[in-house]
Amino acid sequence: MSRTGLVLLGLACLVGCQSTPKTPDEAVRVANQDDTEQVHTELVRQMIAQRKYFAARAHVDALALEHGETPEIRLLRADCMRHLGEFEAAQAGYQSLLNGPYAAEAAHGMGLLLASRHLTAAISYLQRAVFLRPTHAAARNDLGYAMMLMGQYDKALRELSTALELAPGDDRPLRNLVLLHHLRGDHARAATLGHNGGLSDTSLAQLRRQAEELALDQAHDANGQ
């Protein structure tokens, strides 16, 4: 069965600096000057958001050497391993954090890790992440998208609408809501929402085609094909 990947929210900038470094190398210099764990961990998050997973993993290892295997460092390592396709290692990392201070983030990571393999289990973990951090827009967006893939449209609408209001500057929940309205057959509402949100006609056309493909997948699943 073909399914589109979960749409993720990413961190856009470093925290704790007077100005945002323009390149990872510049950010490394800032981190070294400040010599703080917080700046360095935010650097890793920026690299993950930029899909520089190998570099992020190297910095995680450097953090561990300097500060030890803290829960935050273990979480960042699990995130890197998830993106690098190290499924079992990432799963073990997340599971070790499910009852600690990063339980919400670990549950979110587990949900994303399982989404392409066990969607029902993924939804359970994403629901746990939302329960633990109700205002986390990324978790709500990903939960809503997973529910949409499962055909749980009413539940998906609630989660995606909440995510959009929590993060009005991010267009991922907006795109997912447009996609959902197409799946529900409300094409006019999808177009209105997209235009009001600033999406181009090209983007709206792509989302409609994506909805048509997803509807075919769901119909095949329902027929046992």
CATH code of 73's domain = 1.25.40
Would 5 be classed as within a structural domain?
A: no
The total domain count for the chain is: 2
The reply to whether 127 and 211 lie within a common domain is yes
Residue 35: the pLDDT is 52
The reply to whether 71 and 129 lie within a common domain is no
**Does the pLDDT of residue 9 top 50, yes or no?**
no
Would 180 be classed as within a structural domain?
A: yes
Would 191 be classed as within a structural domain?
A: yes
Would 18 be classed as within a structural domain?
A: no
Would 50 be classed as within a structural domain?
A: yes
| CA R_g for the chain | 19
**Does the pLDDT of residue 19 top 90, yes or no?**
no
The reply to whether 65 and 132 lie within a common domain is no
The reply to whether 148 and 77 lie within a common domain is no
Residue 169: the pLDDT is 85
The reply to whether 87 and 126 lie within a common domain is no
Mean pLDDT across the chain, nearest whole number?
A: 86
Q: What is the secondary structure of 169-213 as a DSSP string?
A: T-HHHHHHHHHHHHHTT-HHHHHHHHHHTT--HHHHHHHHHHHHH
Q: Give the chain's count of helices (H) and strands (E).
A: 12, 0
Look at the alpha carbons of 211, 213, 218, 219 in this order and tell me if their dihedral is positive or negative. positive
Q: 221 versus 119: which is more confidently predicted?
A: 119
Residue 195: the pLDDT is 94
Worst-scoring range by mean pLDDT, 32-36, 84-88, 204-208, 218-222? 32-36
The reply to whether 128 and 205 lie within a common domain is yes
Would 3 be classed as within a structural domain?
A: no
- Name every residue whose Cβ is closer than 8 Å to that of residue 20 and which is 6 or more positions away in sequence: 13, 14
Would 40 be classed as within a structural domain?
A: yes
The reply to whether 162 and 213 lie within a common domain is yes
Residue 218: the pLDDT is 85
**Does the pLDDT of residue 16 top 50, yes or no?**
no
Worst-scoring range by mean pLDDT, 20-24, 33-37, 211-215, 220-224? 20-24
The reply to whether 39 and 85 lie within a common domain is yes
Q: What is the domain-level CATH number for residue 208?
A: 1.25.40.10
Residue 223: the pLDDT is 76
| Among candidate residues 79, 96, 113, the one where a domain is terminated | 96
Q: What is the pLDDT of residues 209-220, one digit of tens each?
A: 999 999 998 887
pLDDT (average), residues 96-106: 97
Asked if 146 and 175 count as a contact pair (C-beta separation under 8 A), the reply is: no
- pTM: predicted TM-score of the whole model, two decimal places: 0.81
| Among candidate residues 61, 79, 96, the one where a domain is terminated | 96
The reply to whether 90 and 182 lie within a common domain is no
Domain that holds residue 86: 34-96
Q: What is the pLDDT of residues 150-207, one digit of tens each?
A: 999 999 999 999 999 999 988 999 999 999 999 999 999 999 999 999 999 999 999 9
Would 220 be classed as within a structural domain?
A: yes
Residue 4: the pLDDT is 42
Worst-scoring range by mean pLDDT, 16-20, 54-58, 69-73, 81-85? 16-20
| Among candidate residues 96, 111, 132, the one where a domain is terminated | 96
- Give the CA-trace dihedral at 46, 177, 139, 121, to 10 degrees: -120
Q: Which of the four pLDDT bands, split at 50, 70 and 90, describes residue 112?
A: very high
Residue 84: the pLDDT is 97
Q: What is the secondary structure of 2-36 as a DSSP string?
A: --PPPP-----S-SSSSS--SSHHHHHHHHHHHT-
